[in-house]
Amino acid sequence: MAPTALLSVSDKRDLVPLAQGLLLAGYRLISSGGTAAALAAAGLSVTKVAEHTGAPEILGGRVKTLHPRIHGGILARRSEASHLADLAAQDIEAIDVVVVNLYPFRETVADPAVAFETAIENIDIGGPAMVRAAAKNHDDVAVLTDPDQYPSFLEALAAGRVDRALRRQLALAAYRHTAAYDAAISTWLAERLAAEQPAAATSGTSESAVAAPLRLDLPARQSLRYGENPHQRATWYSAPAAGWGAASQLQGKELSYNNLIDLEAALATVREFGYGEQRQQPAAVVVKHTNPCGVATGNSSAEALLRALDADRVSAFGGIVALNGPVDGAAAAHLTGLFLECVVAPAYDADARAALAAKANLRLLELSPAAIAAAPHQQLRSVLGGVLLQAFDDQPVEEDAWQVVSRRQPTEAELDDLRFAWRVVRHVRSNAISVARGGQSLGIGAGQMNRVGSARLALEAAGERAQGAVLASDGFFPFDDTVRLAAAHGISAVIQPGGSVRDGDSISACDDLGLAMVCTGRRHFLH
C-alpha cells in the first residue's frame, strides 16, 4: 500500500512543491478544505478528508478531521501488532506524514479592533490535535508545521534519510508550534479580560490579574558573536513580524548585542517627536551606551541630524543614530564623515543608499511604523530567577498637569525649550539631567549617584551654551543645590517632577535667582 500524507495548512506557502515532491515519492495525498482546493487547482491528485473518513464536514467546518480514521491512522504504532490489527479491523489506513499549520490566530488578534467572536473562531482545534498526535507517534510519523521545513524534508525523503533523528527534530518543532499557539491564545484572552476589568487589573486587587503567568514564545533569530563583552554568550530572540525582528538591514555588519540595546534607546528617544508618517517634526538622536548624547529637531531630516551631531561631536563618535523620517542624500552626507555603528530610520531614498554604500560596515536599518505598532507594549527585565514586566514609559506628556511654581512665569520661548528638554530627559539614565535650547540638547548628565553630580556633567558639557538655556530633571530636587548650580551657569528655567519634602527650598532658590520653575507631577526614572 502506498504511504499516505495528510495536508491541512493555513499558510499555503510552497504547498504545491511539497505535494508534488510527496507524489513523486509515491505518497497518496489526503487533504481538507482550502488545502484540498489549492492542490486540486494545481492539477494534483488528492483525496478529500470527507471522502477518506466517510463523514462530511459539520458545524460550519468546525469538525473536519476529528475522526478515528484520521487519528487512528496517525497514532497507530507500526511495531505493535494489536495496533495494526485494530487498523485492519476498522479498515483504517496508516498516515505517515502530517503537514499542518494552524489558523492565523496571532495575525487575527494583532488587530486591536478585532471582535471577540472573530478571534475565537480563529482558534484551531483539529490542527493542534493532529500535530500533537503526529509528534507523539514520531517513531512512525513525520510532522511538518512550517513551510521552511519543506525543502530539507524533501531532500531527506529523496535520499531515504527520513529517519528517527529527523522525525524527533520535527516532533520537537511541532510541540513548540502548538505551545506557542496555546500561549498566544491564553495571553490574548488574559489581556482581553483584564481590559474589560481595568480597575481590578491595575489596583492589584484581582487575584487572577496578579497571578496570571507570563508565557513567552520567541524564536531564536540570531546567535550573536557575544553579549555586552566578548566573554559573554548571547542570543537574540525576536518575533519575526514585530519590532526589531521586522526591521530590514540594508547593509553593514551583523548586529551585535550592544547595537540592539542602543538601537532600542535611540528609537525610544526619537519617537518622542513622532515617527514615519506620524512625525510631528523632523528629529534625530545620537546614542552612546543607551544614553542620548545629541538630540535635535529641525526643518528637515538633514538639519535635525546635523544639529544632533553638533550637540556633542566627541560623544557622537561610534554612536547609534535614529531619525524619525526618511533619510535623503542631504542627511546621508552628514553620516559619511563620522564613524558610526548603526542608523535606523523609516526609509532611505536612492541618493542616501548610494552615499552610504561606501561605508560598508555601517549598519543601516529600515524600521516601519507598522513593525513598531505590532510589538507588545511591554518591557521585560531579568532578575535572578525571574523577570519584571512593566508598561513602556511612553505616555503622552500631559501639560495640563504642569504647574509653574516660581514667581516668574516662563516665557513662550522658555516653555518650548522646557517641553523639548522634558522629552529628552525621560530617556536618560537616572539620575538624569538635560540642558537644552532651541530644539537642541546642549548637555546630558546621566547615571550619577546624586542629582547635582549629573547636573554638573550636563552643565559642563553645555559650557557657554548654557547661558539662557533650560534644564530638565527626571526626578525631584532633594536640595536646592542643583538650582543654584544651574543659575551659576546661566540657566533661565527649570522643569522637574516636584514632590520633594524640600520643594520649597528649590522654589525659593529659583525666586531668589530669577529662574522660572515648572513642576510636571510625573517622574521619569530610567534604570
Q: Which residues are catalytic?
A: 136, 289
* H runs (alpha helix) in 271-347: 301-311, 313-316, 329-333
The CB-side HSE value for 287 (13 A sphere, CA atoms) comes to 30
The pairing of strands 516-519 and 493-496 is parallel
Hey, how many other C-beta atoms are within 10 angstroms of the C-beta on 385?
5
Give the span between the Cα atoms of 369 and 447, in whole angstroms: 30
Give the span between the Cα atoms of 459 and 321, in whole angstroms: 23
Give the span between the Cα atoms of 471 and 449, in whole angstroms: 18
Cell numbers at 354, concatenated: 548610494
Please state, in angstroms and as integers, the Cα–Cα distance from residue 470 to each residue in 407, 422, 433, 516, following that order.
17, 10, 10, 9
Gyration radius from the chain CA atoms: 30
Please state, in angstroms and as integers, the Cα–Cα distance from residue 356 to each residue in 283, 284, 288, 330, following that order.
20, 17, 21, 11
In the block, cell 557575544 appears at 226
Give the span between the Cα atoms of 180 and 20, in whole angstroms: 29
Helix (H, G, I), strand (E, B) or coil at 24: helix
Give the span between the Cα atoms of 33 and 456, in whole angstroms: 69
